[in-house]
Structure 1
């Protein structure tokens, strides 16, 4: 395929917020640079098309194997092959300079189509563990952008392609980047934010209200809780808080979540990649409860990274009970200086320049500069001779 260095940039992402949000952040930065964006995803795109204004949006079929192993893959193959054919035709029409995939099985057809057409291709891994599709595609793509310097399952032979960019966050998050953390006044209101990802989490509704009801009355009376809950759970959860005398605001979805994070003294939530990135860029302490059934335990790996840096507290779901959470909260909320220390540690883990680094990488791929960069660059002392490239276009 003829090189189109100024052609559109194709973003391929699964239909969940965890994949689309970093894609949205990249699209916002590239649009500021005057680049045209094409989004390829699955049928869920109708829920997210407002996130990519001005982009050409295409939906192609794909499938996630329901069964692990060869049987599940065989069942998914017809949809994937159909998606590859459709994506191949789309790329032929739009003539992109680069295709970048953000994970999830909907990214597989456009990435395969890019390889077949000879279009420079890249994957971005948000988690500490390479996802299934990214793991499958790393031998064939030109670059692997990563949040972490050593994602699990990265093959040694693909290590030279790794570029440490961080996980980009949306403009709405950057508007609150490094917002000062103000510890609760003695006897003053404590802002607690509880959410379970873009779809909410039943376990939060089951455990958190009862845990807060177990706190000492003086502490309980200072709480103001903002909680995301499933629509069908809201009345029951509200009743629990009213019985405990706790002030609460409940919704099934908050469209101003970055502002809510910035306003909080403590966050209780899952540990998906986007949540980790937003907590770190804003700089807020958190209790993280990894989704126990996520593929390859990627959420647990994410939470462990933050906990090891003193930037969060991880409680596995099997240990996430009213009793254990109440004990931890009583300890944390009684020592505001501890919360402040965790907030500072979280901020140190943030990568507010991630979107710039990723956009630099994508543009370098489109112009052919990234390959030369890999061949010629002497790695800096910061990463060491075997570390990833800390990528910036200025280095090319």
Structure 2
């Protein structure tokens, strides 16, 4: 740890602390902001939980702050969570005094609560970034306490005037690989030509994709099966059965538990079947690819359903709730789209129309303006 690294002499660059939950959905935009600020010779440090230790290379320093997620609603669970968060706030207060950041930027998730709350208690400027089309619980708790709010989608705070007045819709900061992939134009499907289908679902969605997509493909007519070129992210334990179904249908398929070049694969696809996390929807929009989106069900905030609705309303995706995501329904959707190259191209153009490529730069501008106003 670096003592007093945020102290500023006259004319010195500010130090930005980003606080984020330990998942890619929160950390990828934090990384993108760090890269945008680095171009301006502004250093960033990361405050997070133990899960995110591997992300430390993207920041000047990494600080682990105790936190807990609200899981159980019984009194004992709530007391334990509250005690852990209180301890995290106390540790974060000491961290602020030692590091002295010029501004703290929260990206959601309960690990962002102690640093952002500690900063606001010490009158340090604070900014929230909400990636989803509805505000998550951690950000809802912090929203009234921060200096400024940035959102990935429009209308997130419209129902609350006090929050709306300090909200700027800037989009979701994107990784450099996504910016690069967005340069590739959509390649229309040729009559009787290959149809490249990309399937992924994230850690909470890969199982249902393994259950439904191969079964749907097996129901397609042989002439369409022959056209398909499938790339599918599948859990290790599901690979044998998924591979067997595709082999039996004589469908060309590349199957793996993880693809480290996913943005490039999105760009190479004609159609994507996936969950609808904020990052996924933003990347599909930025790159401009049609999607069949299946929101994660039973989420308290229903954030994925709201995200998918944004792209559906724009005309860039078909939203299927999980209860409707059956092999028969998916096979029917693929069959219709495969026969209508013009519709796929129009969906691609519609998705691209709401994509935001410079969100990281916009957020960097907002963060630095917040520091200037406070000083």
With normalisation by structure 1, the TM-score equals 0.89
The residue number in structure 2 matching 1:205 is 210
- CA shift in 2, pair 1:21/1:248, >3 Å: same
**Is 2:257 the partner of 1:252?**
yes
How far residue 69 of structure 1 moved from its aligned partner, in angstroms, is: 7.9
SS at match of 1:225: strand
1:176/1:262 contact within 8 Å kept = yes
1:27/1:37 contact within 8 Å kept = yes
**Is 2:53 the partner of 1:46?**
yes
Number of paired residues?
368
**Is 2:249 the partner of 1:241?**
no
**Counterpart pick for 1:351 among 337, 353, 356:** 356
- CA shift in 2, pair 1:237/1:142, >3 Å: same
User: What is the distance in 1 between the residues matched to 2:77 and 2:151?
Assistant: 28
**Is 2:18 the partner of 1:11?**
yes
**Is 2:345 the partner of 1:340?**
yes
Listed one character per residue, the Cα deviations across residues 287-338 of structure 1 (whole Å, up to 9, x for unaligned) are 0000002221010011111111111100000010000000111000111111
How far residue 171 of structure 1 moved from its aligned partner, in angstroms, is: 0.8
The answer to which of 75-84 and 343-352 deviates more is 75-84
**Is 2:278 the partner of 1:273?**
yes
How far residue 3 of structure 1 moved from its aligned partner, in angstroms, is: 8.2
User: What is the distance in 2 between the residues matched to 1:46 and 1:199?
Assistant: 21
User: What is the distance in 2 between the residues matched to 1:223 and 1:135?
Assistant: 43
- CA shift in 2, pair 1:243/1:49, >3 Å: farther
The residue number in structure 2 matching 1:380 is none
User: What is the distance in 1 between the residues matched to 2:310 and 2:74?
Assistant: 29
SS at match of 2:17: strand
- CA shift in 2, pair 1:24/1:316, >3 Å: same
User: What is the distance in 1 between the residues matched to 2:162 and 2:168?
Assistant: 14
User: What is the distance in 1 between the residues matched to 2:197 and 2:52?
Assistant: 32
**Is 2:363 the partner of 1:363?**
no
2:274/2:291 contact within 8 Å kept = yes
**Counterpart pick for 1:31 among 38, 47, 52:** 38
Stretches of structure 2 that go unaligned for 5 or more consecutive residues are none
- CA shift in 2, pair 1:61/1:212, >3 Å: same
SS at match of 2:35: helix
Matches within 5 A, 1:1-396: 4=8, 6-50=13-57, 52=58, 54-68=59-73, 72-151=77-156, 155-198=160-203, 200-368=205-373
With normalisation by structure 2, the TM-score equals 0.94
How far residue 155 of structure 1 moved from its aligned partner, in angstroms, is: 2.2
Stretches of structure 1 that go unaligned for 5 or more consecutive residues are 372-396
Listed one character per residue, the Cα deviations across residues 21-65 of structure 1 (whole Å, up to 9, x for unaligned) are 111111111111111110011110134334x1x420111110011
1:105/1:133 contact within 8 Å kept = yes
User: What is the distance in 2 between the residues matched to 1:90 and 1:118?
Assistant: 14
The answer to which of 97-106 and 169-178 deviates more is 169-178
The answer to which of 333-342 and 185-194 deviates more is 185-194
SS at match of 1:99: strand
1:178/1:347 contact within 8 Å kept = no
- CA shift in 2, pair 1:188/1:196, >3 Å: same
How far residue 148 of structure 1 moved from its aligned partner, in angstroms, is: 2.1
The answer to which of 147-156 and 267-276 deviates more is 147-156
User: What is the distance in 1 between the residues matched to 2:243 and 2:164?
Assistant: 50
2:205/2:275 contact within 8 Å kept = no
Listed one character per residue, the Cα deviations across residues 49-98 of structure 1 (whole Å, up to 9, x for unaligned) are 34x1x420111110011124876543301211121122222222221111
User: What is the distance in 2 between the residues matched to 1:153 and 1:102?
Assistant: 19
Listed one character per residue, the Cα deviations across residues 333-381 of structure 1 (whole Å, up to 9, x for unaligned) are 1111110000000001101121111000011111227x9xxxxxxxxxx
Task: Give me the CA root mean square deviation.
Answer: 1.9
The residue number in structure 2 matching 1:385 is none
1:238/1:250 contact within 8 Å kept = yes
SS at match of 2:101: coil
SS at match of 1:368: helix
